[in-house]
Structure 1
Amino acid sequence: MSALEHYDDELARLDREMAYYAAICGVDLSDHEAVEECLRHPQDNWPEDKARESLRGLILLRVKIEGEMLDDGQVAKDFNGW
């Protein structure tokens, strides 16, 4: 499996998980403001909200993987307009 295929598979799995947790949390992943709010302002009660905590972690992981792809000269496919 090439590095590109590996990244594509990894991102596809992350995207599915992100969509799952976003649905549970009521976060529209195409709403950039809502996603950025999730990343910037974790609330005090979020650690008790496992779905929202998981969504936040998955978003951060996707950003990290996209950074690795850029370092390798690759570009990730868009996710909901991102």
Structure 2
Amino acid sequence: MSDTPPDRLSASPDSPFFNEGVLERGIGVRFKDEERFNVEEYCISEGWVRMAVGRTLDRKGRPMTIKVTGPVEVWFKDEEKPA
């Protein structure tokens, strides 16, 4: 497995960007200089994250999300966190 996180990753198994191996390793996401724990999907090159909105669910039982643009940093949690 490579030492760089993928450019785009989703936590939903229905997405083509889902990667179970990477998610098991652990991913840290910093969005707009703040570490986020509610990110459902991200894209580094396009500069956006999809974050869960509260505890609300859609009709399929998945978290409702909102897409927000801005600078995105991603790292593997088994490595040191970037400064």
What band does the TM-score fall into relative to the shorter chain? Answer: under 0.3
Identify the structure with the greater helix proportion: 1
Asked which structure has the greater CA Rg, the reply is: 1
Higher relative contact order (CA 8 A, sep 6+): 1
Using the size of structure 2 for normalisation, the TM-score is 0.24
Identify the structure with the greater strand proportion: 2
